[in-house]
Amino acid sequence: MRSKSVKTLLGLTLLGLPLLISTPSKAQDSILQPFVAHYTSTWDVGLKIGGTATRQLQQLDNGHWKLSLEAKAMVAKLNETSIFTIEDKQITPLDYQYHRKILNRSKKLHVNLDWSKNIATTTASNSWSMPIEAPLQDKLSVQLQLRKDISLQASGNLTYEVAAGGKVESFTYQVHQQEQLNLPGGDYQAIKVERIRKDDSQRQTYIWFAPQLNFHVIRIVQIEPDGKRYQLDLQSLDQ
């Protein structure tokens, strides 16, 4: 893997220079490629604490792909992984795991997607199984599929079917105007995307993608109904 620090790309992202957006063909060639992205993390869980996080995409020996997110701070940690295949540039998840612990509260989830039987099952405490059909994403792989599609359609709404909570849910993302972000790794013009939830949901999710960095995620903000806030800001990128 060729290492390329975000800081070496600042010459492309200084204010006043034209925004560099990859053409669809170039973006597609580079989107689904291995990377390691390092972030600073901020957890506001009643008290505000800082930490670090790493997102990584790697190809496994069996040809499958693994996208992972690991974040940790003094009293909190989050581990999330998705194993999937890529065929005709479409992501198909096979296995999803999630573990979050904040103070003394813990949540775990493991979902297996068996495409030979078209059934998804989980080993969580509230176990379930359900029929599935492609195209379908899990809660992490959908972010990579979204990144790929944003490189082709940086406007309007994008909707995905996602295996979540014992049923298939529609995840709709609204693409907003570009914003200037000042991050530890540099200053970037970024495409802001908001997940649109049902009217009665108070949870908010925002993701920012940087065209200058092949549409990598440079910021994620999650705001819970109780006001707790979780944020990632890109620090460096190896790809």
* Structure confidence by residue, pLDDT tens digits, 71-111: 988 777 889 999 999 988 789 999 999 998 877 788 888 99
What angle (nearest 5°) sits at the alpha carbon of residue 66, between those of residues 95 and 96?
25
pLDDT on residue 150: 93
Write down the pLDDT at residue 26.
42
The pLDDT-based confidence of 28 (bands split at 50, 70, 90) is: very low
E strand segments, 90-201: 90-102, 105-114, 119-122, 129-131, 157-164, 167-183, 186-196
Amino acid 122: pLDDT: 86
Q: What is the mean pLDDT of the chain?
A: 84
> pLDDT confidence of 235, banded at 50, 70, 90?
very high
Q: What is the pTM of this model?
A: 0.82
